[in-house]
Amino acid sequence: MAGPVKLAPTAESAPRIDPDRLAPLREFRANPIGRHGPELRAILSLLRSGDVAGKYCLICVEPHAEWVIGRLSGRRGVAPTLADNRVFRSIEEAEWAVFKLRWHEAFGRAVDEDAL
């Protein structure tokens, strides 16, 4: 299991990321869009940083109605590729699905939804 990750080792006030803590996952699950606490913001910053190539993203296929999961090419002008056949009719459910995929890539384990 991965231990706590320090997001910004040079910033004394940066929250430590502990993948065993469930509170930030519960917070994101309940409110994926909007303001978040410092611990969840640190996690989101980690999940959204790094190499863009291959990063999971949402692709809107019908404005305000349907989204699918893609992977970014990492090259300007090259469209994302479809990564999943699921179609989401809620932006919140789509965001949660991408969060879980990025979490798995960052920490090497799936989100235990039964524990939430």
Q: What is the pLDDT of residues 70-103, one digit of tens each?
A: 999 999 999 999 999 999 999 999 999 999 999 9
For 36-66, write each residue's pLDDT tens digit.
999 999 999 999 999 999 999 999 999 999 9
CB count, 10 Å around CB of 76?
6
The pLDDT of residue 15 is above 90: no
Global pTM reads: 0.85
The pLDDT of residue 11 is above 60: no
Return the percentage of the chain with pLDDT > 90, whole number: 84
Angle, in degrees to the nearest 10, between helices 23-30 and 38-48: 80
The pLDDT score that the predictor gives to residue 4 is 60
Q: Tell me the three state secondary structure of residue 88.
A: strand
Spatial separation of the C-alpha atoms in residues 68 and 104, rounded to whole Å = 18
Spatial separation of the C-alpha atoms in residues 50 and 11, rounded to whole Å = 18
The pLDDT score that the predictor gives to residue 9 is 46
